[in-house]
Structure 1
């Protein structure tokens, strides 16, 4: 007599690809996925899973064993050719059976809007997460300068609704794990408009010492960016982009966080107080 037995499946669930997993939002999205018990394939130019936007031979291997992808583009979707690369990646993703794509996009950027449209027209199950300047730029990109009491950018008195990377990651995580977000464009902002002078004032209050804001030229800012790890080829276009985008085009609030998460966005003061409490802006001691 024979007995039919069913062998349990040992196939592992397919992973979520996080492009730019070392970045401000990618790192946080990966953490949320892992905390939820979901397998993550972290990809960047320096990770175990290599991914380089300028080397399309890295795309297909990164997509192996993947069910969905969080897409961030380096250095910025506003750069020439970025939309073409995003469109090409979407085609490769769909060829590998990866239909769920969540794109981090830029607010007020023509190139970013082009990339959004390429994703929307690709046949993917897409979600667009559109935002502008992150709170965490001040704690992760320019922490050293702020620790020494100054904040410099090539902008004037324009107001910006700075958005928190924790909110962005929460929205991206929701979009990757809940089909209700398919076909949605979430434009994210913080709850207030702030000038850079007001940002400096908020930082001063949180840190307990004066942080001064200086409006600098595009070339001066590009030079500062090179001191924070940007290549000379990247620094000037990024400085020019920031100068252009800070022209008031984004000086209005949206309800993207509320629509996606059912709660209010995190306020800049809450971010500043928490980062100050963590000692992010404490001057580094110089050992003699």
Structure 2
């Protein structure tokens, strides 16, 4: 007779929304390592999920005990985050989901007319155990996200001034999400997740330049100049404003204080930016 251990979650099925995204694709193997069955959902994957197509929700939820929720606030256009998440969360509870972990952002002010924490109340009131994750900007924005093309071109222009940001590793965020999904003791918690130290963009780019032996620069630009430049590249005006105001949170040091949450939840220190840069550079992600 086999005895189930506290770390054996073979009786748990987790639906991971955004299963191919920065945190979702890192979360999936962590859950599997603990024995959980995982349904990685995306708009085009084998398990289909689309926030704009509610007819995909019920099938994605079949058999799920827990759900990792990633909303669509960072896309162009308006989106009723609270309304959609409330409808989904209510359906999930009706389908038997007992635990939810919601990824939001460590930005509590409205940016570009949007609230990046708009979905929190819907999850908190659905009746399931809930945990909210509010991370700072990811390390991975530099090597697989919005900054990569600029770094390859040798210059990153942003309206961030000399503001500081305690960038966080998406791997650490995924590890905290896995703990909250599989372990007891995280219900009702809102976790603000950061790296161990705050950096300016100038310091971050200098670190990448040294690791790659390339001339890569950070160029502070004006707020409106940044908006106008994005619009010139056919970015929708409302989305350009959203991006500029999001970066302005860093310029104004809104969330510049590092937190100890990763250490408290995982029992280890969060990954340092310098270690991330060395690893990414060794993989040649910034090579020409």
TM-score range, shorter chain: 0.7 to 0.9
Query: How well do the aligned residues superpose, as a CA RMSD in angstroms?
Result: 2.2
CA distance in 2, matches of 1:234, 1:56: 26
1:172 to 1:234, Cα distance in 2 relative to 1, 3 A: farther
Q: Out of 105-114 and 37-46, give the one that drifted further.
A: 105-114
Per the alignment, in what secondary structure is the counterpart of residue 163 of structure 1? coil
Whether the 8 Å CA contact 2:231–2:237 is kept in 1: the answer is no
Give the 5 Å matches for 1:157-172. 157-172=162-177
Give the 5 Å matches for 1:2-21. 13-21=11-19
Q: Is residue 269 of structure 2 the alignment partner of residue 264 of structure 1?
A: yes
Which structure 2 segments of 5+ residues have no match?
A: 1-9, 110-114
**Deviation sequence 1:51-84 (CA, Å, 0-9, x none):** 1112222111110111101111124399652122
Whether the 8 Å CA contact 1:29–1:172 is kept in 2: the answer is yes
Q: How many pairs are equivalent?
A: 267
Per the alignment, in what secondary structure is the counterpart of residue 127 of structure 1? strand
**Structure-2 residue corresponding to 1:152:** 157
1:171 to 1:249, Cα distance in 2 relative to 1, 3 A: same
1:232 to 1:44, Cα distance in 2 relative to 1, 3 A: farther
Whether the 8 Å CA contact 1:258–1:265 is kept in 2: the answer is yes
CA distance in 2, matches of 1:222, 1:38: 45
Whether the 8 Å CA contact 1:76–1:82 is kept in 2: the answer is no
Whether the 8 Å CA contact 1:154–1:221 is kept in 2: the answer is no
What TM-score do you get using the length of structure 2 for normalisation?
Answer: 0.85
Picking from 240, 243, 256, the partner of 1:239 is: 243
CA positional deviation for 1:150: 1.8
What TM-score do you get using the length of structure 1 for normalisation?
Answer: 0.85
